[in-house]
Amino acid sequence: MAALFTPRANLFARLAIAGLVGSIAAVALATYGWDRSSYSTHQNLFVQQTVPFSHQHHVGSIGLDCRYCHTSVEKSAFAGIPPTSTCMNCHQQIWTEAKVLEPVRTSWQTNKPLIWQRVNRLPDFVFFNHSIHVNKGIGCVECHGRVDQMPLMYAAQPLTMQWCLDCHRDPAKHLRPADQVFSMEWQPPASKDKRKAQQAALMESYRIHPIGLTDCSTCHR
């Protein structure tokens, strides 16, 4: 009886297997890549707000300290979004007629809060605490980027668990002196030796012990 399949069928069979394996691998790689891309993490994506608040103007030009608005960053898990009264501290006196500030004035007068779209977000099952990070020498810039150069806010970092773990496994690289935590321009010493020495000294003075930083219950409760 004649063969059902010609020798060419072998080629198709092999191509099909290779194609199947290849497409599974492609899907896996695509998922892997997609998860880490800014499509997924929204890194560097400007977020539209009701009021186009410019950190570049308020922090960069005017020189407000982070804590003027984000008041509870040293004391609490949540850094704090300023109440309308903080905005009105200044804007009762300056730019009182500006159209962009209309929602702020309306909020003030009607006693209804302003609604902001959250830019730096973590899932609900992550319990992030600002105060411990800030008190242990992690600068605002480390995670939030150069806000003094942001006309509109965007997430400067991917904020994935992998990214958090990179620091939790080796915090030394991301530490800065306590008085520089809220500084925008601070850079670590240029020379590698000085940098390493400073990092070691900071690990010591902040009493940071990496063991335990990678315990699940540190962030997941």
Partner 1 sequence: MGNNAPPSRPFWRSLDELVGTPQFKAWAGDEFAPEMFEKKTRAEMGASRREMLKLAAASFVLASLASCSRAPEQELVPYVHTPAGRTPARPQHFATTLTRGRESIGVIVTSNEGRPTKIEGNPKHPASLGATDTFAQAEVLGLCDPDRSQAVLHNGQVATWDAFSRELQQRLSRNQQAQTIPSTAHLLTGPITSPSMLDQITRLMAKNPGMKWYVHDPTGEKAAIALRSMFKQDVQPSFDLAAARVIVSFDCDLFFGIPGSVRYARDFANGRRYTHGYSSVNRLYVAEPSPTITGSKADHRRIARPTELAGLIESLAARLGITGAVDTLKDDAWLNAVAKDLEANAGHSLIVAGTGWAVAAHHWVVQMNAALGNIGKTVSFRPSNAPPSIDLASLITDVNAHKVESLIILDTNPVYDAPAITTALANIPWIAHVGLYNDETAAKATWHVPMAHTLESWGDATAFDGTVSAIQPLIAPLYGGKSAMEVLANALGEPLKTDYDLVSDYWRRVIGPASFDAWWRTSLREGVMATPAPAAPVAFDQASIRGLQSTRLGQETLGTNEQLCAVFRPSSGTYDGRYANNAWLQELPDPITKLTWDNAAWLSEKTARHFNVTTGDVVRIRIASTTVEAPVIIVPGQAEFTVTLPLGYGRTKAGSVGSGVGFNAYAFDQEMAFDVELKPAGRTFPLAITQEHSTMEGRDIFRTLVANTPHEKEPKVVHLSMYPDRLQAKQQWGLSIDLTSCIGCNACTIACQSENNIPTVGKEEVKMGREMHWIRIDRYFEGEPEDPAIHHQPVPCMHCEQAPCEPVCPVGATQHSQDGLNEMVYNRCIGTRYCSNNCPYKVRRFNFFQYTDRETESRKISRNPQVTVRSRGVIEKCTYCVQRIRNAQIDADIDPDRPTQSVADGVIQTACQQVCPTQAIVFGDVADDSSRVSKLKALPHDYALLEELNTRPRTTYLAEVRNPNPEIPGPTTKESHA
CA pair distance 177, 125, nearest whole angstrom: 31
The number of angstroms, rounded, from the C-alpha of 119 to the middle of its chain's C-alpha atoms is: 8
Q: Name the helix (H) or strand (E) containing 134.
A: helix 130-135
Q: Using CB under 8 A, pick the residue from 6, 23, 61, 85 that binds partner 1.
A: 85
Q: Using CB under 8 A, pick the residue from 12, 78, 95, 186 that binds partner 1.
A: 78
Q: 76-100 burial string, b = 16+ CB within 10 Å, else e?
A: eeebeeeebeebbeebeeeeeeeee
Using DSSP, state whether 191 is helix, strand or coil. Answer: coil
CA pair distance 33, 191, nearest whole angstrom: 35
Binding mask 162-201 for partner 1 (x = CB under 8 A): ----------------------------------------
Binders of partner 1 in range 118-147 (CB under 8 A): 118, 121-125, 127, 129, 131-132, 135-136
Q: Using CB under 8 A, pick the residue from 6, 10, 23, 40 that binds partner 1.
A: 40
Shortest distance, position 107 Cβ to partner 1, whole Å = 6
Binding mask 89-118 for partner 1 (x = CB under 8 A): ------------------xx--xxxxxxxx
* Pair of tokens at residue 127: 């319990």
**Residue labelled with tokens 């194609």:** 19
Task: List residues near partner 1 by CB under 8 A.
Answer: 31, 35, 40-42, 72, 74-78, 80-85, 107-108, 111-118, 121-125, 127, 129, 131-132, 135-136, 207, 209, 211-212, 215-218, 220-221
